């Protein structure tokens, strides 16, 4: 769901409180960060097994893009002061330090 859809939903939905909406957006950001980290790991593995010049070129491009996306999402989380807390256990990930 993109930003405009979220904003439109926020304006049309009167049942959610602002805190609940904020929490949902935070969880979505955390989920995006987790996905971006997985994509970054996959890109690293792809680079490790690349053999031909074209494969290496693509792997470098994909690795740089995945790394930039991951860093961008981490910066965004820090900006809005989101910490990665596991929903089930309630434990804060990353040594208990907010992103």
Residues 60-84, mean pLDDT to the nearest whole number: 90
CA distance 1 to 44: 27
Q: Are 53 and 62 in contact (CB under 8 A)?
A: no
The structure tokens listed for 32 are 């995006």
Residues 28-42, mean pLDDT to the nearest whole number: 94
Most confident of 19-28, 57-66, 80-89: 57-66
- The pLDDT, as a whole number, for residue 3 is 64
Is this structure's pTM higher than 0.75? no
- The pLDDT, as a whole number, for residue 88 is 53
Query: How many CB atoms within 10 Å of residue 62?
Result: 18
pLDDT reading at 56 higher than 60: yes
pLDDT band, very low/low/confident/very high, at 98 (cuts 50, 70, 90): very low
The structure tokens listed for 34 are 């987790």
């Amino acid at each position: 769901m993109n930003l405009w859809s979220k904003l439109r939903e926020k304006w049309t939905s009167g049942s959610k409180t602002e805190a609940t909406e904020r929490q949902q957006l935070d969880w979505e950001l955390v989920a995006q960060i987790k996905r971006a980290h997985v994509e970054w790991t996959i890109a690293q593995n792809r680079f490790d097994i690349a053999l031909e010049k074209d494969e290496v070129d693509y792997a470098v491009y994909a690795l740089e893009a995945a790394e930039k996306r991951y860093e961008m999402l981490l910066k965004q989380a820090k900006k809005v002061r989101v910490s990665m807390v596991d929903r089930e256990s309630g434990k804060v990930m990353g040594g208990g330090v907010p992103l």
